[in-house]
Structure 1
Amino acid sequence: MNDEQLQTWVEEISLRSFGVPFRHRAKFNGRLRTTGGRYFMKTHHIEINPAQLEAYGTEEVERIIKHELCHYHLHLSGRGYRHRDPEFKALLNQVGGSRYCQSLPGRAKRKPLPYRYKLVCNRCGMEYLRKRRVDPERYRCGKCRGVLQLSSLQ
């Protein structure tokens, strides 16, 4: 599928599901990695990740298009277009769009950093695990207000 076919597909979905025409550009963007699509508020254009089409087919991409069209139509009508807005959630459920896109197969998932540092209270012995190094002089124990001492777990 090319950009022109995507454009006509988005226009059809907009008319069928929302009853309002899509009057801007829709195109594929192969540089998208972690998202299925995106809506640009300044230009009102929509970009879709072509890897989602290859991996999951037209049904999943149609749900992604409906998600982006929810942003589009709500933003142009001056209503709540953000993910957290109740109007966005209601319209998304009404048209059958996806809330989140599926992660692409073969993509390595980020592993959380293991805890590398430990702050120990000198007074009560309370331990605080941290992934990043912090300055113990800037903090006190949340339990007894005692002095903290930094130690490394590795």
Structure 2
Amino acid sequence: MDNKELQKLTEDISETYFKKPFRHQALFNDRLKTTGGRYLLTSHNIELNRKYLIEHGREELIGIIKHELCHYHLHLEGKGYKHRDRDFRMLLQQVNAPRFCTPLKKKAENKKTYMYICTTCGQQYIKKRAMNPDRYRCGKCRGKIKRIFS
């Protein structure tokens, strides 16, 4: 789906659920990381996270569009458009829009670990942060610690 298709979808959803036209731009913003979408108060545009379409599908994206359109229409009407406002929560229920979107799966990060071993007793230590082995001793036998590479 590109920005033209997204614009058409947003206009259709606005007409179908809100019975009002959407006169501004809806577009994908690939810089969004943690949010499904956002309504920009100054330009009245709606930005959406493409990752939600890829990971959760079209239905989730439609829910996010409805949520952002609630902000849009209430703001233009001068009513309470913030999440805590009664007008906003009531409109969410009327159009069956989600209050929050489904979280994205976090990508698996490779956590680097450092391995150290006692030269006397062989006790192994696995650390998340690097340390200077000359400044520390084994907690078991007080022997010297040496870094090993795994």
- Give the TM-score taking structure 1 as reference length: 0.69
What's the counterpart of residue 59 of structure 2? 59
Corresponding residue number in structure 1 for 2:29: 29
Residues 1:93 and 2:77 are matched in the alignment: no
Deviating above 3 A after TM superposition, structure 1's stretches of 4 or more consecutive aligned residues are none
Q: Secondary structure at the match of 2:47?
A: strand
| CA apart distance, 1:68 | 0.2
CA distance in 2, matches of 1:90, 1:101: 17
**Residue 33 (structure 1) shift:** 0.5
How far 1:107 moved relative to its partner?
Answer: 4.1
The alignment status of 1:4 with 2:4, answered yes or no, reads yes
SS at match of 1:63: helix
Identity %: 54
Corresponding residue for residue 44 of structure 1: 44
- 1:76-95 Cα distance to aligned partner (Å, 9 max, x none): 00000000000000000110
Distance 2:101 2:79 in 1: 23
Matched residue pairs, number? 108
d(CA) in 1 for partners of 2:25, 2:57: 21
Q: CA RMSD in A?
A: 0.9
Matches for 1:74-85 after TM superposition, within 5 Å: 74-85=74-85
| Structure 2 unmatched runs, 5+ | 109-150
Unaligned stretches of 5+ residues in structure 1: 109-154
Deviation at 1:105, TM superposition (A): 1.2
Shift in CA distance, 105/22, structure 1 to aligned 2, threshold 3 Å: same
- Output the CA distance in 1 between the equivalents of 2:107 and 2:93: 28
Provide the rounded CA distance (Å) in 1 between the counterparts of 2:106 and 2:41. 31
AA aligned opposite 1:13: I
User: Which residue identity is paired with 2:15?
Assistant: L
Corresponding residue of 1:70:
70
Match of 1:151 in 2: none
Tell me which amino acid in the other structure corresponds to 2:79.
R
TM-score, normalization: structure 2? 0.70
Matching of residues 100-139 of structure 1 within 5 Å: 100-107=100-107
CA distance in 2, matches of 1:34, 1:106: 10
Counterpart residue identity of residue 70, structure 1: C
Which structure is larger by alpha-carbon Rg, 1 or 2? 2
